[in-house]
Structure 1
């Protein structure tokens, strides 16, 4: 691909982004994603995985105790509604938008593009408009082809299919969407899954609207959620945060408590750069997420290249989870699990001065003190308490 004039050529490894790549690197095939494997791979597919996906229909949702009642599943499944409507609208064609294929653009590209004389100003405008539509964070990076999936998935038979991205795309706009902190505090529960579903529905709306704005300016823009490429490397390269032991991006605004989406575009933009501040050094001494994982799917020790199964990308040195163990627990719960997000010491409300002070300690040479101060951080809140928290307030 040709490089935009405002972008320096990348190196084999983006050291500043915490991305270390070896000669064994291979682009990831999305067919090997653990969620897609649950439909075609006998090693992953089971009665429990079937029940997991079926639970997103209320007639199949199990009801067992606090956090997994009909009311909890009702809220979780309702939170997913907009995302589900978008992802299912072209299902008969084998296309699942936002997950195994990019979202279809309902807005045509305007025939007369607006002249962009100042890409830096245009980047600032895109960030402003992204927040107008509801994104909490926005960063911009180059379209690094290494992080595109090798292929998309045809959901009719789960075979590989081409992306069919337009020619000339050279930038990725990465958007962050904050998850509800009080719901995250109740993981693992179906109730907590509403925090995930709400942001998938939010991000579907935001990426479609922001892409429509860009297309109305006369430039290509492809809205994307989990599809088309790995969003975590793009988020790191766009300066939104740093990679952590729990497989998440730690941001200074929300810690790990976000979902990410992206837009591929040829709109003239300047690119942000990675901003390492010390998360890697903190994760080197912290294993709270790995300790808390019920199935021990998260790694201890230093980052390593490769992983335990085909759901791990090859040739990247990083902390890598055992996706098969992780998803097996999700299937057992009939809901997603983010205990690792809940217990992460960076999962805090940074509008509070004491938490901003803690962050400064954690990213400094006093990180061991910060870790000691976080010893009891992330204790689970009973889901029933979430339902009760507003009942005493007058209407």
Structure 2
């Protein structure tokens, strides 16, 4: 694995709004809350086991709007392509795209195409990413600090080596928009289809884009939740800014995105990180923390976390992962109320929302927050189903 690059074209952590302290430690994937639910008795329970079983329809659906058999059926169907991919390496303890990178389906071509202009190549990669279905694409340099110290062997949930091929220099970060109408129904099993659909979409997109790069003669490792933390890479690539709700706020889709990535040796030009003004807005807004049913989100300023399931030595807003996942387990589905109520969860293709965004990212942010007072209400899942008739 390559070391952190500090060349003349590198951008600083502060450029991306990242605050590293002297106590920084790389994160071990075994400590993420989903992995801990399999080995840590402080987390694992009948409810957490039922949460995972519900994705296989082995747990009886709850009664109530948004948690019927039909809701769970759509959610689980939306995950299908991602699930098929993730099971390919099960015999070797590799859950591809989650606890291990996606294995090569095409070799690296023996003949390497000459890249004369990395900046032009970056533009081409973005065009191809859009062709395959990505909604956002940006490039940044490799930075080992965000890579898991170890990955997870899913056979016994033990720590396993986390390596990339030699010669990797850049990371291509891709954004995938979640369905706004489904997001509006959180918390519900139905809303989980918005997440699952994008995992299935991104699985296909990263594999296709990585195959294209390998056919050019360069290394390309397709990656979803595995190998490295994607949020710091999205920030360094200039796709958006970190928010109180633990998400990346983008000017195009707000927080309504899933991210994937490709590690590559292809000569590329890095994009510049941007400070948009999101942090200043989050300093005066606590809508996500107010709306969280289990109060897992912080109300105060960014701080350094000492929690097991968070990275050490980064001053940022950090959720209580144990409280958050406990609520997920109780519902037998994911929760993104914090995404739904976020003032940036808007359709920025419309002029009135573009105008609001300018206000929110300016000294007029308090006025923008006032204008958002009555937005973010939950839509009943039954209303979504009625629209399909």
| Same fold, judged at TM 0.5 (above) | yes
Moved segments of 4+, more than 3 Å: 1-7
Offset of residue 164 of structure 1? 2.9
Rounded to whole Å, the distance in 1 between the matches of 2:114 and 2:32 is 40
The question of whether the paired residues in 2 share the 8 Å contact of 1:6 and 1:271 is answered with no
Structure 1, gaps ≥5 residues long? none
In structure 2, the partner of 1:240 is 239
Matched, 1:157 2:148: no
- SS of the counterpart of 1:100? coil
Rounded to whole Å, the distance in 2 between the matches of 1:261 and 1:85 is 17
The question of whether the paired residues in 2 share the 8 Å contact of 1:80 and 1:198 is answered with yes
Rounded to whole Å, the distance in 1 between the matches of 2:190 and 2:287 is 23
Offset of residue 2 of structure 1? 6.3
In structure 2, the partner of 1:374 is 372
Superposed CA offset, 1:251-310 (max 9, x none):
000000000000000000000111111000000000000000000000011000114x20
Rounded to whole Å, the distance in 2 between the matches of 1:146 and 1:57 is 35
In structure 2, the partner of 1:133 is 132
Matched, 1:336 2:334: yes
In structure 1, the partner of 2:9 is 8
- SS of the counterpart of 1:317? strand
Offset of residue 63 of structure 1? 3.1
The question of whether the paired residues in 2 share the 8 Å contact of 1:7 and 1:271 is answered with no
- SS of the counterpart of 1:25? strand
Report the TM-score, using the length of structure 1 for normalisation.
0.96
Superposed CA offset, 1:355-386 (max 9, x none):
00000000000000000000111000000000
Rounded to whole Å, the distance in 2 between the matches of 1:239 and 1:325 is 31
Aligned-CA RMSD value: 1.2
Rounded to whole Å, the distance in 2 between the matches of 1:208 and 1:321 is 31
Rounded to whole Å, the distance in 1 between the matches of 2:104 and 2:255 is 30
Q: Which moved more, 1:154-163 or 1:33-42?
A: 154-163
In structure 1, the partner of 2:215 is 216
In structure 1, the partner of 2:117 is 118
Change (3 A) 1:304 1:6: closer
Structure 2, gaps ≥5 residues long? none
| 1:122-271 aligned within 5 A | 122-271=121-270
In structure 2, the partner of 1:33 is 32
Rounded to whole Å, the distance in 2 between the matches of 1:344 and 1:10 is 29
Report how many residues are paired.
Answer: 388
Offset of residue 10 of structure 1? 5.4
